[in-house]
Amino acid sequence: MLKTKDIIDEKNKLLRQVSKEVEFPLTDKDRKTIDEIIEYLTNSQIPELAEKYNLRPGMGMAAIQLGIKKRYFVVVHEYEEGKFKNYVLINPKIISNSEEMIYVEDGEGCLSINRETIGITPRYARVTMEAYDMDGNKIKVRGREELAIAFQHELDHLNGILFIDKIDKKDPFKNKDKMRAI
């Protein structure tokens, strides 16, 4: 079972590297890692289990956060209390996005950043991703609001970018009035 301590911290230079395309078929090791990520993210969003296993809550995780330099990520979205939908996106890319920009009102978080951060991270309100599923089939997934933010956040990880990089250092709340808070 994955533990919070297995997730690498922002000080680790691996997080700044661009992950490599995944070749199919997936290795058994990658399949096992994906299953473990799904289990971690699901349990971390259920307060009793998060406390029991000492898990930091999160809805997304990229392979690179476990030190695996491959282009895949998992998002476990709680769309209704206690109901989750799993998204496994391999070799993902954004193929379309809204013009509308949004940000997380309380600030984005990241399992690899273990400190308080101040500022807003501009994100598209809606994105359509193209990727592959675990069996190598091409898929298209649309995300809105928090799901769109999670997709963009995890895709950034695959490109060596952390959400804090998108916060304006001189003006952490820059253009706040031009975006919608969620």
2: nearest Cα among 48, 73, 72, 50: 50
All domains in the chain, ordered by first residue: 4-181 (3.90.45.10)
pLDDT one-digit tens code per residue, 109-149:
999 999 999 999 999 999 999 999 999 999 999 999 999 99
d(CA 7, CA 2): 9
Query: According to the model, what pLDDT value does residue 158 have?
Result: 98
- What rounded mean pLDDT belongs to the chain? 97
The residue assigned the tokens 């916060």 is 167
Determine the distance from the C-alpha atom of residue 83 to the mean position of all C-alpha atoms in its chain, rounded to a whole number.
19
Query: According to the model, what pLDDT value does residue 138 have?
Result: 98
Confidence band for 37, pLDDT divided at 50, 70 and 90: very high
Q: 18 exposed, middle or buried (CB, 10 Å; 0-12, 13-18, 19+)?
A: exposed
Question: Which sign does the torsion angle of CA 77, 2, 94, 28 carry?
Answer: negative
Query: Is there a cis peptide before residue 172, judged by omega within 30 degrees of 0?
Result: no
Let me know the angle formed at the C-alpha of 177 by 175 and 180, rounded to the nearest 5 degrees: 100
Please list the active-site residues. Answer: 154
CA atoms within 13 A on the CB side of 59: 18
d(CA 3, CA 43): 11
Average of pLDDT values for 33-45? 98
Reported pTM: 0.97
